[in-house]
Amino acid sequence: MSRDIRTVPAILTDDPVALGKMVLQAESFTDFAQFDIMDGRFVPSRSISAEHIAGLGTRLAWEAHLMVLHPEAYLDNFRRAGAEKIVFHYEATSSPEQVIRMVRQHGLKVGLAVNPETAIEAIKPLVKQVDSVLFLSVNPGFYGARFIPEVLDKIAAFRRAYPRVEVGIDGGIKENNIAEIAKSGVDVIYIGSAIFRQPEPGEAYRRLTQRARAAAA
């Protein structure tokens, strides 16, 4: 049975000028995007903030992927900036249940992100509390990081255990691996450098989307 796979552009930058350019590009080919937020602590790099996004006035619907320690401290700013969903890392907090509750209290959807080394067993108590699970297929924090193919086995196992949970993958997706990724059981594929570091980002997005959907059919 074919699945309706979604491809979502992932916007990652520490430069407000580049942010504005990437958002304008995204607006030309999609109505939804993910903003990657980094604090220089949970991951080595830093990125733009909720205030930068709020200042754009974008028409895009969007979610925030928080690669930060203490994600609960960021929730109000991102709600005010217009986020529809917060995706936070299991590894970034000692109290993921509390973070989930706080995201809900802010009236937002919640996703749980999982680093490559984290076992499925670790997140089992949380799966029914979230709207989606996002599997990182790179070590997070950098555009263009190396894809870790073993994560696809983890996704396939998770899909068998939780057939109705939305599953996403983020990191290292390129034209030469997106078909294999699409066959693993994911619902959403987040793509960064393979879109925004191409001469024609819109064409790259459409080409990647077509390959993913053809492979999942």
Burial of 142 (0-12, 13-18, 19+ CB in 10 A): middle
Report the C-alpha gap between 167 and 164 in whole angstroms.
Answer: 9
Which residues are CB-contacts of 213 (< 8 A; sequence separation ≥ 6)?
Answer: 5, 182
Strand partners, 212: none
Report the C-alpha gap between 99 and 71 in whole angstroms.
Answer: 7
Q: Determine the number of helices (DSSP H) and then strands (DSSP E) in the chain.
A: 9, 8
Half-sphere exposure of residue 73, counting CA atoms within 13 Å on the CB side?
Answer: 9
Report the C-alpha gap between 11 and 121 in whole angstroms.
Answer: 30
Which strand (E) or helix (H) includes residue 95?
Answer: none
Q: Quick check: helix, strand or coil at residue 169?
A: strand
Q: Cα angle vertex 139, ends 16, 169, to 5°?
A: 85
Q: Could you list the active site residues?
A: 36, 170
